[in-house]
């Protein structure tokens, strides 16, 4: 069940006109679909889409519910997932008992670093799998070997790529 927190003719203070435009709505939905294609909740992608284009950049849960025409529960759960992924952060609220969120500076880097941890774990799992099929014919081993080699390559190459990206950003230094 969806709940509207404000009248559609009177947007809540702080909500973004860009997010409410046709182009903005398409952008938000495209980010949501992209998230869904990656196996993540569409609502999380939609929230991120809003926070990437919203003005002001920090939006309350109520703002997000109104812009997305979504329930407070759905927005709250998915905002928490985005905070855990490093893409957004909770910010101080001028209004008591109200959560505000914004895109976290450096969020994409943190997100990719978390994905790298997943790839490293998959690399370790495929190593265990290769031990299980050791001595079997090469065709039987090929499926695992392909995955193992890909994850090993990503684990070896991605950190350098992320460091080069971070160094290439004006005013930013690699950690």
Q: Is 2 helix (H, G, I), strand (E, B) or coil?
A: coil
- Binned at pLDDT 50, 70 and 90, residue 164 comes out as very high
Domain carrying residue 129: 107-168
Of 64, 83, 103, the domain-final residue:
103
Residue 23 lies in a domain: yes
Q: Are 97 and 25 in a shared domain?
A: yes
pTM of the model: 0.78
Q: What average pLDDT does this structure show over 90-116?
A: 88
For residue 12, is it within any domain? no
Q: How far apart are CA 164 and CA 147, in angstroms?
A: 26
- Whether 5 has a pLDDT exceeding 60, the answer reads no
Answer yes or no: do 27 and 96 share one domain: yes
Residue-wise pLDDT tens digits, 17-56: 899 999 999 999 999 999 999 999 999 999 999 999 999 9
- Asked whether the bond before 121 is cis by omega within 30 degrees of 0, the reply is no
List pLDDT tens digits, range 132-156: 999 888 888 899 999 999 999 999 9
Domain final residue, candidates 75, 103, 131? 103
Whether 93 and 21 map to the same domain: the answer is yes
- pLDDT digits over 58-85, tens only? 999 999 999 999 999 999 999 999 999 9
Based on the fold, state whether residues 66 and 127 are members of the same structural domain: no
Q: Is residue 89, in this structure, part of any structural domain at all?
A: yes
Q: Taking Cα atoms as reference points, which of 119, 116, 82, 122 lies closest to residue 99?
A: 82
CATH of the domain at 135: 1.10.287.160
CATH number assigned to the domain comprising residue 75: 1.10.10.10
Domain count, the chain: 2
In a domain, 161, yes or no: yes
Q: What is the pLDDT of residue 97?
A: 74
CA distances from 171 to 131, 164, 174 (A): 47, 14, 10
């Amino acid at each position: 069940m969806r709940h509207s927190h404000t009248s559609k003719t009177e947007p809540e203070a702080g909500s973004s006109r860009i997010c409410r435009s046709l182009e903005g709505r398409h952008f938000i939905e495209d980010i949501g679909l992209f998230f869904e294609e990656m196996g993540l909740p569409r609502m999380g992608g939609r929230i991120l889409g809003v926070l990437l284009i919203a003005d002001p950049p920090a939006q309350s849960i109520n703002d997000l519910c109104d812009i997305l025409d979504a329930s407070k529960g759905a927005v709250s759960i998915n905002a928490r997932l985005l905070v855990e992924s490093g893409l957004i952060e909770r910010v101080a609220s001028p209004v008591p008992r109200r959560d505000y969120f914004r895109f976290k500076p450096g969020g994409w880097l943190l997100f990719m670093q978390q994905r790298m941890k997943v790839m490293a774990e998959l690399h370790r799992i495929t190593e265990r799998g290769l031990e299980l099929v050791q001595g079997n014919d090469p065709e039987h081993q090929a499926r695992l070997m392909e995955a193992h080699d890909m994850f090993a390559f990503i684990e070896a190459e991605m950190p350098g790529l992320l460091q080069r990206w971070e160094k290439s950003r004006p005013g930013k230094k690699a950690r």
